[in-house]
Chain A
């Protein structure tokens, strides 16, 4: 009994869903994203194993800790970031199977676990003395504060409609109600908020290479960079799963999962290749002037129609 429990927990953390599976899944999705954008931009794009090769190479490389930084913080932050993203995967219906763990209110925990990556990126940038990293960190955190509230509200929309803050129960409700039709604004905000979270164009001002090199992660190399990138891949999977589960009528089986998340990924790739980068002040303006107001308007409608 005891041993079986420990084994199950180890399996859940190391292999499925929060370990190897979600890492491989994330890297494959990252490849698909890069490939589709490349084809849309008339480029050839990477081969399927490129993200794996990149990660392995980076993991094997020496990690250079720049002068003037706290080495523990510098090395610890990428680990926390990846751990946060992987923890989020525990509460999500990855691959269309039931979440590994579930408790009332796990939605809030998951959404905040997903923010941990951005927070760690910002702290990592602020912890170094590189000026590009500092400007990048400021932008990362500014962006976090602009999309986070609308994104959270968009994620809570289905939860409020379902009357529960437990992901599995919201999904049950979403399975019988196609929420993209009822809450279209929430869906759009959630998807675009995901782009902001993942710093995809047009929200890539925090890492705009023509201005601030690599933004907050400028000083990172080797393992730290690899862990941050893996964290982002995992977050891509988690975010897509969450949006698909809530807005696209739930996720019932692995095939359903693949179709819905890849479909959303394609949508993201199209948007990324269509749009030019926004300045950070424009990003903030966009989210607070339009994003927040729209999602609040939808909440108002929801409240009125519910009562």
Chain B
């Protein structure tokens, strides 16, 4: 920073790639005038892992392992989206019991994700007590997931053509006990975030996104539903067992941070209800079915509602053991633009809250980018560029 930037309006506060507010690397530059943000830019891609390319070199089954690791929080939903797509390609009918268990795990995952988010968002607002309490209660749902699948994070519950784990009677009773406890706690948190005077000062009327803005920016998930966009893939395009266990969408209209809190907390109640419904009405039968090794050529789009919003998978098969192309669009990418456009005009102190408000997941959304210049970057041109820069290779 040079001296002439000291007093002027060109004072830039960098957030990231390493910053205490960010749990993952991302880079934001906020131009500030005093405390008010005047410009905002984002740069993503620090956690690009090349998963989409790696998927093409592994077979259909191995990819489950890989894709589940796209996100450390909503791991199940990635594998589920992939399975649903591949099963549609292979025209395999999954047993209803397996579908119901998939939905059960997906909803438990949503509970854990939303409780985690509540803690993170509270921490960004400097309300560490709420953070600690919500994460303590989140352990309940983590225990349920561990009891069901043996894992706390990457549950690995899916198989192509079914699920690995069945629900026993003891486990069902334990899940219902846990749900009752969580329901009571969630009601308490809902009361806190809608009535705590100091906390409301940080959320009510902050980061308001109107319905039109939400449609224009193409935001998804709870962020969109907090702005009155009634769009939930579980409702508008039910998949798997959501056809049997319908979901009531939760929509708020205020569009501010408070509404984003309320939407996510109310979605928790819907998830509790769904989990109970699934546990009580679990269809009998097998949990797996036979699945072919090769999948005939074709392409499919698979959309599911991840905890953060619409998760989009495009899968193309050329008839082999490996997929030809898998394209993943995670909800964070769709929501990121809203942070940048909402940030301008807000206080610097609101920025971490705004960012947390979309529940960002950076490494999930980081993808390679094609840079379009005056002409295409061919392999030959890249090679020439490398030679010009580093010298001709010895070989």
User: Could you list which residues of chain A lie within 8 angstroms of chain B, going by C-beta atoms?
Assistant: 40-43, 129, 131-132, 134-135, 138-139, 201-202, 204-205, 208-213, 273-282
In residues 168-184 of chain B, which contact A (Cβ within 8 Å)? none
* Given A211-B348, A280-B35, A280-B349, A202-B198 contact (CB < 8 Å): yes
- For A210, the chain B residues whose CB sits under 8 A away are 20-21, 123-124, 126, 352
Q: Which residues of A sit under 8 angstroms from B1, Cβ to Cβ?
A: 129, 131
Cα–Cα, bound, A277→B351 (Å): 14
A139 to chain B, nearest CB (A): 8
Contact, CB under 8 Å: A273 / B129: yes
B residues less than 8 Å from A42 (CB atoms)? 132-133, 136
Cross-interface CB contact of A131 among B12, B20, B21, cutoff 8 Å: B12
Residues of chain B contacted by A138 (CB below 8 angstroms): 34-35
Docked Cα-Cα span, A212 to B349, in Å, equals: 9
Task: With A40-B129, A131-B11, A208-B126 as known contacts, state yes or no: A279 contacts B20, CB within 8 Å.
Answer: no
Q: Across the two chains, which residue of chain A brings its CB closest to B199? A: A276
Tell whether, in the assembled complex, residue B128 and residue A279 are in contact, meaning their CB atoms are under 8 Å apart.
Answer: no
Q: Which of B12, B19, B32, B349 is within 8 Å of A213, CB to CB?
A: B19
- The answer to whether B347 and A279 touch across the interface, beta carbons within 8 angstroms, is yes
B positions within 8 Å CB-CB of A: 1, 11-14, 19-21, 32, 34-35, 122-130, 132-133, 136, 196, 198-199, 201-202, 347-352
In the assembly, what is the distance between CA of A208 and CA of B348, in Å? Answer: 11
Inter-chain contacts of A273 with B (CB < 8 A): 128-129
Contact between chains at B129 and A131 (CB < 8 Å) = no
Q: How far, in whole Å, are A276 and B34 apart by their CA atoms in the complex?
A: 23
B201 touches A278 (CB 8 A): yes
Chief secondary structure at chain A's binding surface: helix
Closest chain-A Cβ to B238's Cβ sits at a distance in Å of: 38
- Given contacts A41-B133, A211-B352, A281-B35, whether A132 and B202 have CB atoms under 8 Å apart is no
Distance of A43 Cα from B129 Cα, bound (Å): 10
> What are 24 A-B residue pairs whose CB atoms fall within 8 Å in the complex?
A41-B128, A42-B136, A131-B11, A132-B13, A134-B11, A135-B35, A204-B126, A205-B349, A208-B126, A208-B349, A211-B21, A211-B348, A211-B349, A212-B348, A274-B129, A275-B127, A276-B125, A276-B199, A277-B127, A279-B202, A279-B347, A279-B349, A280-B349, A281-B35
| Residue of B136, B199, B201, B350 with most partner-chain A CB within 10 A | B201
With A131-B14, A211-B351 known, 7 other A-B pairs at CB within 8 A are A135-B13, A201-B126, A210-B124, A211-B21, A212-B13, A277-B127, A277-B349
Contacts of B35 in A (CB 8 A): 135, 138-139, 280-281
Q: Give chain A nearest CB distance to B339 CB in angstroms.
A: 15
Flag if B350 contacts A279 (CB, 8 Å): yes
Q: Lowest 10 A-B CB distances belong to which pairs?
A: A277-B126, A276-B127, A210-B21, A41-B132, A279-B349, A276-B199, A210-B352, A209-B20, A276-B198, A273-B129
A203 to B, closest residue via Cβ: B126
- Number of CB contacts from chain A to chain B under 8 A: 83
Report chain A residues within 8 Å CB of B132. 41-43
Which chain B residue shows the least CB distance to A205? B349
* Complex-state Cα separation, A208 to B128, whole angstroms: 12
Chain A residue numbers with a CB within 8 Å of B201 are 278-279, 282
Residues of A within 8 A of B32 (CB): 135
In the bound complex, how far is the Cα of B19 from the Cα of A211, in angstroms? 8
A281 to B130, CA, bound (A): 23
Measured between beta carbons, the chain B residues less than 8 angstroms from A275 are: 127, 198
* Nearest Cβ on chain A to B259's Cβ, whole angstroms: 18
Distance, CA A49 to CA B86, complexed state (A): 58
Q: How far is the CB of A218 from chain B (nearest CB, A)?
A: 10
Question: Across the interface, which residues of B come within 8 angstroms of A43, CB to CB?
Answer: 132
Cα–Cα distance between A42 and B1 once the two chains are bound (Å): 42
Beta-carbon nearest neighbor of B123 in chain A: A210
Closest CB-CB distance, A249 to chain B, in whole Å? Answer: 31
B347 CB to nearest A CB, Å: 6
A142 nearest CB neighbor, chain B only: B35
B125: chain A residues at CB < 8 Å are 276-277
Q: Are B196 and A276 in contact (CB under 8 A)?
A: yes
Residues of B within 8 A of A205 (CB): 126, 349
CA distance A281 to B201 in the complex (A): 11
- The contact of B348 among A135, A204, A209, by CB within 8 Å, is A135
Q: With A131-B14, A201-B126, A204-B126 as given contacts, are A276 and B20 in contact (CB-CB < 8 Å)?
A: no
Contacts of B14 in A (CB 8 A): 131
A280–B13 CA distance with the chains assembled, in angstroms: 17
Report how far A48 CA is from B192 CA in the complex, Å. Answer: 32
A213 and B20 within 8 A (CB): yes
**A43 to B, closest residue via Cβ:** B132
A211 to B28, CA, bound (A): 12
* B360 nearest CB across to chain A (Å): 13
Chain B contacts for A276, CB-based, 8 A: 122, 125-127, 130, 196, 198-199, 202
Closest partner residue, chain A, to B34 (CB atom): A138
**A205–B351 CA distance with the chains assembled, in angstroms:** 13
A205 to B35, CA, bound (A): 12
Contact between A278 and B198, CB atoms less than 8 A apart:
yes
Chain A residue at minimum C-beta to C-beta distance from B6: A134
A contact residues around B11 at 8 Å (CB) = 131, 134
B198 CB contacts on chain A under 8 angstroms: 202, 275-276, 278
In the complex, what distance in Å separates the CA atom of A273 from the CA atom of B35? 26
A129 and B6 alpha carbons, distance in the complex (Å): 10
Question: A41 to B127, Cβ gap below 8 A?
Answer: no
